[in-house]
Amino acid sequence: THLEHLECGRQLTSRTGELSVDASFLESQRAKAEERRRRFEAAAREPPPPLPKRSMAWPGGKIVTPNKAEAIASFLERKAGSLDEAKERVLLGELGRAAAEAGAGAAAAASAGAAAASGAAASSSRALAGLTLALSAGGDESGVGQAELAKSIRAAGGVVSNTVHKRVDLLVASARAVKRNTQAVRKARGKFRTPIVSPDFVIDSIAAGSKRDPALYAPTADRAARAAPPAAAASAAPLGT
């Protein structure tokens, strides 16, 4: 109880009708008060804590960052494989619009006073603008990893999708992925009829500063399949005569 606490702390004694307080108790309280004072003074001398990091709110929330396209692309990388197709399409649309706005601003700045060399670099940086590409390039024989390939596509103005869907323009697949017939390759060939290109399509397009012909970078099996009907018809002609 409160009275018991007072008895333990203050050691009240009655001597000739006078009330006395244990001196050791007062000394301990003064020591604690001094310790608190020193602690508060030390804390006041420390610098203030850093401000919270500005981050993106998802989905549909306000994005407080100077580079909206970079924020959305970073979010898609972190959430790779965990987003459903509908949410991913919404974010891809936002990414495309943000990239277009950033590209327009960069073009205006370049036209204001850039040299010919910087103009050439700007054209190569937009080589894949307007394209949405899905990736299945793990273990690429050229040595370019999928993460590095995704960065190159975004830097060139393209959009990277985590899955193959009807809005994907091309599937970038390594020879290993085509040989293994990965899920992305199966969806591209079967459900969506999406053209497949090798990673060299991305590398050569960026180097040339403009989109190359995807047909030149299709897997060998796909090129053979497209060429098969005319060849079959030609071989079958003599049999009909």
Check residue 63 and report its DSSP letter: B
Place of tokens 């394209």: 131
Mean pLDDT to the nearest integer, 15-44: 80
Q: Tell me the pLDDT tens digit for each residue of 148-157.
A: 888 889 888 8
Helix segments in 114-161, DSSP class H:
116-125, 146-155
Given a cut of 70, whether residue 223 has pLDDT beyond it is: no
pLDDT on residue 186: 92
**Could you tell me if 71 and 157 are in contact, meaning their C-beta atoms sit under 8 angstroms apart?**
no
From CA 173, how far away is CA 18, in angstroms rounded? 95
Lowest-confidence pick of 29-38, 68-77, 106-115: 106-115
pLDDT tens-place string over residues 81-110: 677 777 777 777 787 777 777 666 555 544
Q: Look at residue 196 and tell me whether its pLDDT is greater than 90.
A: yes
Angle at 20 between CA 18 and CA 25, to 5 degrees: 170
Tokens, residue 234 = 């030609």
Cut 0.75: pTM above it: no
